[in-house]
């Protein structure tokens, strides 16, 4: 199959993950990104030139120009377990000069609706504050958003393994960065975690990324399933299973993601915890070559809704937001990157809730009163069980 030959580059080393994935260590210069026509002669940017400043009480806490090998990560709740935590690490690591890529198998492609659409979302699958919810009936959202001129976002989210009823459904939690109109010119980049059996062949929670330059019509894909995103990190598999997840009424597993626009090169960089993962080159986009106009955070569920019944697929932990800490899903320390390259608390959230009796969201600022942890800044709880007495 030509698609498999194109996606699966010749590995320097291969590692079998306990979940059945094969992780291929590919020479960094031979990764799928460089199949993209605009990246044929691209020189890899191994590090961003600038990193966003942290702002506290109006004072800049760190220099924007990066001159150290590591950088300050976000403050951590005493109940959060953080760090790089992927299942394949149990059996090995990739050497320097390579990147780890989840091998695409024939059965992965056969599960897709078509070879042409493999690794891609359907058209118009992003929640829009101005679009009637009936326009995309199979997609359910519980999302907070802000409008304006933005150059990135940072947030910490806890990770769960929601129950997904049908293999054709999914449940995800992510950050969206958007530019352009919700028509044919929409630009988006995003990242988070999801359970998506049709794509990955199992019900594990997996770290993922996505991008499109034309409203999901022809460009973009999940993870590295098409050319575009340039990975620079040799420790993190995009599309890899998460080793540990949050426990109901117990310890919470959380990750911090930061996506921002490099002020010199214009590329959109991504940081996973305190590791640079890679970047989306600015040449992939039209509107995002300048800035983003909308940022969203939250959950999405695909609801197949057979026989007129709502799916039982859960969002987040499967608990409604009012159940609070150690029970509901959350995003905390939600920040935006402004025009001066400063990280500031996101404020004045709008909300997109398709069916509040199925999935909902509650925003807040400052200390979460149900916890004994550090300040959460801007935060929200979100999620729900799907079908229940009030969501038939």
246-267 residue pLDDT tens: 999 999 999 999 999 999 999 9
- pLDDT of 84: 73
> Average pLDDT of 186-208?
97
User: Phi/psi of residue 255, each to 5°?
Assistant: -130, 150
DSSP letter at 391 equals: B
Would you mind telling me the total number of residues written for the chain in this entry? 392
Query: What three-state secondary structure class fits 3?
Result: helix
The answer on pLDDT for 244 being more than 50 is yes
> Average pLDDT of 179-190?
91
User: pTM (2 decimals)?
Assistant: 0.92
Asked whether 239 and 206 are in contact (CB, 8 A), the reply is yes
DSSP string computed for 309-366: PPP---BTTSS-GGG-TTTSEEEEEEEEE-TTSEEEE--S-EEEES-TTTSEEEEEES
Percentage of residues of the chain with pLDDT beyond 90: 77
Q: Which of 108-122, 140-154, 157-171, 287-301 has the lowest mean pLDDT?
A: 108-122
Give the separation between CA 21 and CA 5, rounded to whole angstroms. 17
Asked whether 81 and 251 are in contact (CB, 8 A), the reply is yes
Asked whether 231 and 239 are in contact (CB, 8 A), the reply is no
Helices and strands: H and E segment counts in the chain: 3, 22
- pLDDT of 238: 98
Name which of 35, 306, 71, 345 is nearest 166 in CA terms: 306
CA 209 to chain centre: 5
Look at the alpha carbons of 16, 22, 27, 33 in this order and tell me if their dihedral is positive or negative.
negative
Asked whether 302 and 138 are in contact (CB, 8 A), the reply is yes
Q: What is the mean pLDDT of the chain?
A: 89
The answer on pLDDT for 280 being more than 70 is yes
DSSP letter at 191 equals: E
Query: What three-state secondary structure class fits 73?
Result: coil
The answer on pLDDT for 131 being more than 60 is no
DSSP letter at 128 equals: -
Helix (H) or strand (E) holding 107: helix 106-111
Q: Give the tens place of pLDDT for each residue, 29-53.
A: 999 999 999 998 999 999 999 999 9
Q: Give the tens place of pLDDT for each residue, 76-106.
A: 454 676 767 899 999 999 999 999 999 999 9
- pLDDT of 145: 97
- pLDDT of 113: 83
At residue 153 the predicted structure's pLDDT band, cuts being 50, 70 and 90, is: very high
User: Phi/psi of residue 244, each to 5°?
Assistant: -125, 150
Give the separation between CA 372 and CA 377, rounded to whole angstroms. 14
The answer on pLDDT for 183 being more than 90 is no
> Average pLDDT of 323-340?
96
Question: Max alpha carbon distance in the chain (Å)?
Answer: 59
The answer on pLDDT for 221 being more than 60 is yes
- pLDDT of 367: 64
- pLDDT of 65: 45
User: Phi/psi of residue 169, each to 5°?
Assistant: -100, 170
User: Which letter, b or e, does each residue of 208-245 get, where b requires 16 or more Cβ atoms within 10 Å of its Cβ?
Assistant: bbbbbbbbbeebbbbbbbbbbbbbbbbebbbbbbbbeb
Q: Give the tens place of pLDDT for each residue, 287-321.
A: 999 999 999 999 999 999 778 899 999 999 999 99
At residue 55 the predicted structure's pLDDT band, cuts being 50, 70 and 90, is: low
Name which of 176, 247, 170 is nearest 206 in CA terms: 170
Q: Give the tens place of pLDDT for each residue, 355-389.
A: 999 999 999 987 655 655 568 999 999 999 999 99
User: Which letter, b or e, does each residue of 270-291 get, where b requires 16 or more Cβ atoms within 10 Å of its Cβ?
Assistant: bbbbebbbbbbbbebbebbeeb
Give the separation between CA 218 and CA 121, rounded to whole angstroms. 10
Asked whether 101 and 195 are in contact (CB, 8 A), the reply is no
Asked whether 208 and 120 are in contact (CB, 8 A), the reply is no
Q: What radius of gyration, in Å, describes the C-alpha atoms of the chain?
A: 20
> Average pLDDT of 127-142?
70
């Amino acid at each position: 199959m030509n698609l498999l030959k194109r996606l699966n580059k010749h590995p320097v080393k291969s590692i079998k993950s306990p979940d059945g994935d094969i992780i291929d260590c590919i020479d960094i210069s031979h990764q799928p990104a460089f199949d993209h026509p605009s990246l044929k002669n691209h020189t890899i940017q191994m590090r961003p030139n600038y990193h966003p400043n942290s702002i506290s009480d109006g004072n800049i806490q760190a220099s924007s120009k990066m001159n150290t090998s590591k950088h300050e990560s976000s403050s951590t709740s005493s109940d959060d377990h953080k760090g790089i935590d992927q299942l394949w690490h149990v059996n090995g690591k990739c050497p320097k000069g390579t990147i780890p890529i989840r091998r695409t198998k024939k059965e992965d492609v056969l599960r897709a609706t078509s070879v042409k659409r493999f690794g891609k979302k359907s058209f118009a699958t992003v929640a829009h504050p101005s679009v009637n919810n009936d326009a995309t009936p199979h997609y359910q959202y519980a999302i907070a958003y802000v409008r304006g001129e933005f150059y990135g976002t940072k947030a910490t989210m806890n990770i769960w393994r929601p129950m997904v009823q049908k293999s054709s459904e999914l449940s995800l939690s992510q950050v969206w960065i958007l530019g352009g109109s919700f028509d044919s010119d929409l630009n988006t980049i995003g990242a988070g975690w999801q359970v998506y059996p049709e794509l990955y062949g199992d019900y594990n929670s997996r770290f993922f990324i996505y991008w499109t330059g034309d409203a999901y019509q022809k460009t973009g894909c999940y993870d590295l399933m098409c050319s575009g995103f340039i990975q620079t990190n040799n420790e993190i598999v995009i599309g890899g299973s998460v080793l540990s997840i949050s426990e109901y009424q117990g310890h919470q597993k959380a990750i911090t993601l930061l996506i921002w626009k490099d002020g010199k090169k214009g590329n959109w960089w991504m940081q996973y915890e305190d590791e640079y993962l890679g970047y989306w080159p600015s040449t992939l986009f039209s509107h995002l070559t300048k800035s983003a106009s909308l940022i969203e955070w939250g959950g999405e569920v695909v609801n197949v809704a057979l026989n007129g019944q709502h799916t039982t697929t859960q969002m987040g932990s499967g608990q409604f937001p009012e159940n609070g800490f150690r029970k509901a899903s959350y995003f905390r320390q939600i920040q935006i990157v402004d025009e001066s390259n400063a990280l500031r608390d996101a404020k004045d959230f709008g909300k997109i809730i398709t069916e509040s009796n199925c999935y909902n969201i509650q925003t807040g600022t400052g200390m979460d009163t149900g916890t004994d942890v550090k300040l959460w800044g801007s935060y929200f709880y979100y999620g729900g069980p799907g079908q229940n007495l009030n969501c038939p």
